[in-house]
Amino acid sequence: MIQSSSYLNSLWVILGLLLIAGFFVFRFLLKTQRIQHLPGFFETPAGEFLLNRGFIVGVVLIIFGVFLKYNALTKAEQQQAQMMIATEYRANVDAIQSLSENIQNLIESHQKVTERLYSQDNEILTLLFPADSYLNEANTPVNKLVDSAFKNLKDSDLLHNQAAMEKFNGFKNKLKPFINQQITELKVMADPDNEAYPIKQSYWDSFKETFAEIDGKNPQEIAGSIEQMKQARVEYVAVLKQAEAYLAQVKSFVGRDSFISNGDIYETIKIERESLDRLNQFYTKLRSLNQSVEAILKNIP
How far is residue 241's CA from residue 190's CA, in Å, rounded to a whole number?
Answer: 8
- Average pLDDT in the 223-246 region? 96
Residue 199 has pLDDT above 80, yes or no: yes
2 pLDDT exceeds 60?
no
| pLDDT value of position 134 | 66
Check if the beta carbon of residue 42 is closer than 8 Å to that of residue 51: yes
For 96-117, what is each residue's pLDDT tens digit?
999 999 999 999 999 999 888 8
Q: How far does CA 135 lie from the centroid of its chain?
A: 35
The yes-or-no verdict on residue 43 having pLDDT over 70 is no
CB 289 within 8 A of CB 282: no
Domain range summary for the chain, segments of one domain joined by +: 4-73, 75-298
Most confident of 12-16, 84-88, 212-216: 84-88
> What's the full length of the chain, in residues?
301
> Whole-structure pTM over 0.85, yes or no?
no
In this prediction, residue 137 carries a pLDDT of 58
Q: Report the range out of 55-69, 91-105, 257-271 with the highest average pLDDT.
A: 91-105
| Mean pLDDT computed over every residue of the chain | 86
Mean pLDDT (whole number) for 165-194: 91
Check pLDDT > 90 for residue 7. Answer: no
CA 173 from chain center: how many Å?
Answer: 40
The tens digit of pLDDT for each residue in 260-292 reads 678 888 888 889 989 999 999 999 999 999 999
- CA–CA separation, 253 vs 112, rounded Å? 16
* Interval 132-170: pLDDT, tens: 766 555 567 888 888 888 888 888 888 889 999 899 889
With beta carbons less than 8 A apart as the criterion, state whether 153 and 127 touch: yes
**Alpha carbons 297 and 168: distance in angstroms, whole number:** 53
Q: What pLDDT score does 224 carry?
A: 97
Q: What is the mean pLDDT of residues 232-238?
A: 96
At 292, which helix (H) or strand (E)? helix 262-298
